[in-house]
Amino acid sequence: MARKSTKPTITKTRTKKTTSVPKPSKPVFRTGTWVAIAVFAAIALLAYFLNRDAGTAAEAEITPTVEEKSVFDTTSIVTSIEVSPTDGETVRLERNTENVWVLTQPHKIEADSGLAEAAASQITALKVNETIEGDPSIFGFDSPAYTITVEFENGTKSVLEVGDNTPTNNGYYVRLNKQTMMIVSLSSIDSLTNLANFPPYLYTPTPTATATPLPTETPVPAIEATPTP
């Protein structure tokens, strides 16, 4: 009787794989680092603005201020204005002894004080846009369109000749006392030359009517009747 062979029994045991827990990652930048970066950025921004303001202030100090130049002395008091056009009547305004503006040409009559005072203010407010040089005939001073004569309280007198318009038509060439040639704004000169076209009468003067004598009748001699024979 044969023996049964016995095989050893192999028992396989399964090993369980353990899953490893990931370690917590450290932040690249810590909180302190972010604070330091923010502080640095704020300091850099402040330095930028401070340098910019300092540069602007320095530039403002270096840049010279161009002062406007007046045609006449702004502190003088105007006592008379005379506007003489090349074609037309001369208009003359004067302050009388009672400091009242009157017209002495072309008619002797009281002037509108508001318009006269505005003209006097315009005289002292005339500004020089540019000083020019050259042949006076080029700018129309051989035959100026207007001549404006101004007298002041201190006894001085100035003559301003108005020549041609500038090529851009935004000003006039003017000459002061036959010497200094300048460019003055169009509107400021027009306000003065308009005095010749529209004198500032307080009221419009009416011409004096001249009575025309009636024709006299020529007496007719009486004719004596001759008796008929």
| Residues 32-74 pLDDT 10s | 666 667 776 777 777 676 666 555 444 434 444 456 788 888 8
The reported pLDDT for the residue numbered 165 is 93
Q: Which residues of the chain have pLDDT under 70?
A: 1-36, 40, 47, 49-67, 204-229
The reported pLDDT for the residue numbered 61 is 45
Strand 101-105 relative to strand 157-165, pairing: unpaired
Domains and CATH numbers, the chain: 69-197 (2.60.40)
Q: How far is CA 32 from the centre of its chain?
A: 60
How far is it, in rounded angstroms, from Cα 53 to Cα 42? 17
Task: For 19-70, give the DSSP string.
Answer: PPPPPPPPPSS-HHHHHHHHHHHHHHHHHHHHHHHHHHHHHHHHSPPPPPEE
Among 92, 63, 59, 58, which residue's Cα sits nearest to residue 78? Answer: 92
Contact 71, 82 (CB under 8 A): no
